[in-house]
Amino acid sequence: MAKHPDITVEWMRNGTSQLMNILAAEQQAGGIKADVLLVADSINLGTLKQQKLLLAWPEAPLEGIDPLMYDADKTFFGTKISSTGIVYNTQVATPVTGWADLFQDANAGQIVAPSPLYSGAALVHMHSLLQDATQGWAYYERLNVLGVVPEGGNGPVLKAVAGGQMKYGVNIDADVLRAKRRARRSNSSIRPKVPPSLPSR
């Protein structure tokens, strides 16, 4: 903004699915208003590309960036790598090192997860699990048995765990790492953790 004080930026923050619904409504009403879109998954971006709603950026500065991080036609670009793991409250939860430890009957009603219907990161996580023969739909069936109703995004999940309302959560690592840094700065005794032995997805 300091370089371009004459430009006014209006922005909207929401879950990926909500933003996609807004774009669809704007398109039907005569045209999408957004100039730039930042969402958490390439699935929806691929859909927008198929609909010819994304412009290419041929001159994008991509030197040293892995081609896997951006669309071959340069219509969308990755901004970071986020993996999904388990976050737990160190004051009230027993440490876990993987899904098998988490999915115990004793944890029923104590696990919170984001919804793939709202969160792009949760949508990517779901697609990854469904392609994993050792997980698949059984992962979500087990969540259901344990009383987990995925709802909202990663932010509320982390807040519920850090606040002690829930012992465990399924969350992207970037949010957890930021929360741990904030906790250290404020000397908070509630520190969510991501087990280092948990496979990233």
Instruction: Indicate the residue among 32, 58, 78 that finishes a domain.
Output: 78
- Considering the domain architecture, whether residues 53 and 98 belong to the same structural domain is answered as no
- The DSSP symbol for 106 reads G
Identify whether 201 is part of a domain. no
Q: Give me the tens of pLDDT residue by residue for the chain, a chain 201 residues long.
A: 678 888 888 888 888 888 888 999 999 998 888 899 988 788 889 999 999 999 999 999 999 999 999 999 999 998 887 788 888 888 889 988 888 889 999 999 999 999 988 888 888 888 888 988 888 899 889 999 999 978 788 889 988 988 889 999 998 888 888 887 776 654 444 445 544 333 333
The pLDDT score that the predictor gives to residue 40 is 78
- Considering the domain architecture, whether residues 64 and 150 belong to the same structural domain is answered as no
Count up the domains in the chain and report the number: 2
Instruction: Indicate the residue among 28, 62, 78 that finishes a domain.
Output: 78
| For the chain, the helix, strand and coil percentages under 3-state DSSP, each to the nearest 5 | 40, 10, 55
Question: Phi and psi for 116 in degrees, rounded to 5?
Answer: -65, -15
Give the Cα separation of 178 and 155 in Å (integer). Answer: 11
**Angle, CA 10 vertex, CA 9 and CA 15 arms, to 5°:** 125
What domain range includes position 59?
1-78
Identify whether 199 is part of a domain. no
The pLDDT score that the predictor gives to residue 66 is 93
The pLDDT score that the predictor gives to residue 197 is 33
**What pairs with residue 89 in β-bridges?**
192
Give the Cα separation of 114 and 118 in Å (integer). Answer: 8
- Considering the domain architecture, whether residues 135 and 72 belong to the same structural domain is answered as no
- Considering the domain architecture, whether residues 90 and 169 belong to the same structural domain is answered as yes
pTM, two decimal places:
0.71
- Considering the domain architecture, whether residues 146 and 49 belong to the same structural domain is answered as no
